[in-house]
């Protein structure tokens, strides 16, 4: 199976570094996650694996949507640098993205 664009994959990895660190901190601060909490939703705790799996299976658009879900659902506050990476991913994929939405 062909690999996705290396620059695109590198951008996903770079964004995931920050998002995963923020997600880990959120889980650590919360302790046991109540069932009705935003962090209890499927695909957040192991979100990095899910995103990279989509990227590696040529589903970068779905990967990007999942990455945004990981940011918006808890919600997490990402840096301007991360927002720039997200904008670059969106441009590469020709998908809409507005940094005010993350």
- The candidate with the shortest Cα–Cα distance to 66, out of 12, 24, 8, is 12
Beta strands in the chain (DSSP E): none
- The candidate with the shortest Cα–Cα distance to 92, out of 6, 8, 3, 1, is 8
The per-residue pLDDT for range 15-32, each reduced to its tens digit, is: 999 999 998 888 778 777
pTM reported for the whole predicted model:
0.86
pLDDT of residue 51: 97
* Residue 44 three-state SS: coil
Cα separation, 43 vs 25, whole angstroms: 16
Cα separation, 13 vs 83, whole angstroms: 14
pLDDT over 70 at 42, yes or no: no
pLDDT of residue 45: 80
pLDDT of residue 41: 73
Per-residue confidence band for 94, with pLDDT thresholds at 50, 70 and 90: very high
Helix residue ranges, H only, 31-79: 47-56, 60-72
The per-residue pLDDT for range 78-88, each reduced to its tens digit, is: 999 999 999 99
Q: Where are the domains of the chain?
A: 6-94
């Amino acid at each position: 199976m062909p690999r996705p664009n290396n620059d695109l994959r590198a951008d996903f990895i770079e964004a995931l570094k920050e998002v995963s660190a923020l997600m880990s901190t959120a889980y650590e601060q919360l302790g046991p996650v109540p069932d009705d909490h935003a962090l209890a939703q499927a695909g957040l705790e192991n979100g990095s694996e899910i995103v990279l799996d989509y990227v590696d299976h040529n589903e970068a658009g779905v990967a990007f949507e999942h990455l945004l879900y990981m940011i918006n659902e808890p919600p997490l506050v990402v840096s301007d640098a991360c927002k720039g990476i997200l904008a670059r991913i969106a441009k590469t994929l020709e998908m809409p993205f507005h940094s005010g939405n993350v």
